[in-house]
């Protein structure tokens, strides 16, 4: 069996031949690094990069990684459609831990529910006839290009099932993590120790110059940049990445239209609420006036009765005095 250092050298050597070519690249990248097809192509094409990213996300040293294998690979460059394309990358680490990783660009406002569904499906990995204690750990990781909970922004957050009173973990075999690519400024010392801030900057990079700068700071990112350069030269992969970008544009257009409609609906609701409040106020005012009018009518009747009574008395007194 190879030692860890030998295994690392072997993995790294896969792309050494092309490692110098990308250094001459300049200008804007051919597609955003958050492109989920490019993300999948990167991790499928370079196992060394896959291991490096997994180590950073799980916060474990590279020497602990014996193997990392993608269990749902696709044929890179082959035509796909939105209905059949698997956005997530399923990995089994050291043949004992299942990891589901997904790059999510558009906020569809359903990530908590969606990620929980992925996590539960991943955790349901027990073969028939085996004891429940033998179920393999499952980890769901989302790389999000938006803030999941705006009221509680974080760079990297991990969630588990916990006892709400004692904070005791129910099980260490399920957990869910979220890397917020838009809030690198909130990275902690531990995040920086495992270069998660470098990986986030890598996925947010827009130019080759940015990649070169990051590559000088992290060997895995150096390999990742070389791989991106290689896959970007393959026309079929470029076409699929462009197709995904076109899909994003359509989704954003639909989302913007829905947001405009929602905004218009909210304005109409606010206007309706204003008219309803005004109507209620007028009804209340009318009711008050009606009550006041009724009271005035009663008072007028009373005064009229008093006047008539006084007139009657006055007429009697006048009649007496004549007599």
Would you state the pLDDT for residue 7? 41
| Residue 122: Cβ within 10 Å count | 19
Would you state the pLDDT for residue 1? 32
Would you state the pLDDT for residue 149? 96
| Whether the Cβ atoms of residue 225 and residue 212 lie closer than 8 Å to each other | yes
Q: Which residues of 272-290 are buried (b: 16+ CB within 10 A; e: fewer)?
A: eeeeeeeeeeeeeeeeeee
Q: Is the dihedral of CA 278, 280, 282, 288 positive or negative?
A: negative
Would you state the pLDDT for residue 254? 75
| Residue 241: Cβ within 10 Å count | 23
Report the distance separating Cα 31 and Cα 232, nearest Å: 9
Would you state the pLDDT for residue 80? 67
> What's the CA dihedral at 11, 16, 21, 27 to 10 degrees?
40
Question: In the chain, what is the straight-line distance between the N-terminal and C-terminal CA atoms, in Å?
Answer: 143
Would you state the pLDDT for residue 270? 77
| Whether the Cβ atoms of residue 46 and residue 223 lie closer than 8 Å to each other | yes
Per-10-residue mean pLDDT for the chain, 323 residues long? 40 42 88 93 96 97 96 83 67 96 93 94 87 94 96 96 93 96 97 97 96 95 95 91 86 75 77 72 69 73 74 65 56
**Facing residues of 102 across strands?**
88, 142
Would you state the pLDDT for residue 2? 36
């Amino acid at each position: 069996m190879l030692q860890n250092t030998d295994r690392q050298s072997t993995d790294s050597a896969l792309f050494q031949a092309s490692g110098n070519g990308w250094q001459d690249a300049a200008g804007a990248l051919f597609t955003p690094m958050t492109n989920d097809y490019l993300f999948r192509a990167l991790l499928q094409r370079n196992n060394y990069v896959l291991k490096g990213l997994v180590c950073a996300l799980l916060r474990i040293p590279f020497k602990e990684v014996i193997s990392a294998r993608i269990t749902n690979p696709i044929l890179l460059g082959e035509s796909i459609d939105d209905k059949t394309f698997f956005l997530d990358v399923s990995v089994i680490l050291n043949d004992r831990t299942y990891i589901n990783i997904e790059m999510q660009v558009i906020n569809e406002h359903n990530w908590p529910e969606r990620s929980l569904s992925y996590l539960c499906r991943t955790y349901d990995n027990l073969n028939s006839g085996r004891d429940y204690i033998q179920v393999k750990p499952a980890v769901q990781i989302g790389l999000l290009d938006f803030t999941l909970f705006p009221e509680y922004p974080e760079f990297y957050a991990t969630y588990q099932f916990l006892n709400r009173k004692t904070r005791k973990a129910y099980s260490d075999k399920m957990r869910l993590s979220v890397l917020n690519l838009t809030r690198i400024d909130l990275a902690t010392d531990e995040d920086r120790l495992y270069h998660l801030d470098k990986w986030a900057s890598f996925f947010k990079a827009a130019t080759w110059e940015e990649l070169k700068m990051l590559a000088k700071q992290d060997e895995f990112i150096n390999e990742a940049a070389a791989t991106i350069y290689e896959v970007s030269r393959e026309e079929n992969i470029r076409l699929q990445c462009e197709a995904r970008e076109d899909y994003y544009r359509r989704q954003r257009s639909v989302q913007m239209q829905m947001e405009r409609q929602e905004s218009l609906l909210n304005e109409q609701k606010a206007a309706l609420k204003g008219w309803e409040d005004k109507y209620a106020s007028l009804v209340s005012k009318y009711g008050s006036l009606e009550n006041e009018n009724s009271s005035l009518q009663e008072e007028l009747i009373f005064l009229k009765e008093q006047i008539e009574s006084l007139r009657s008395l006055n007429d009697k007194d006048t009649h007496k005095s004549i007599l």
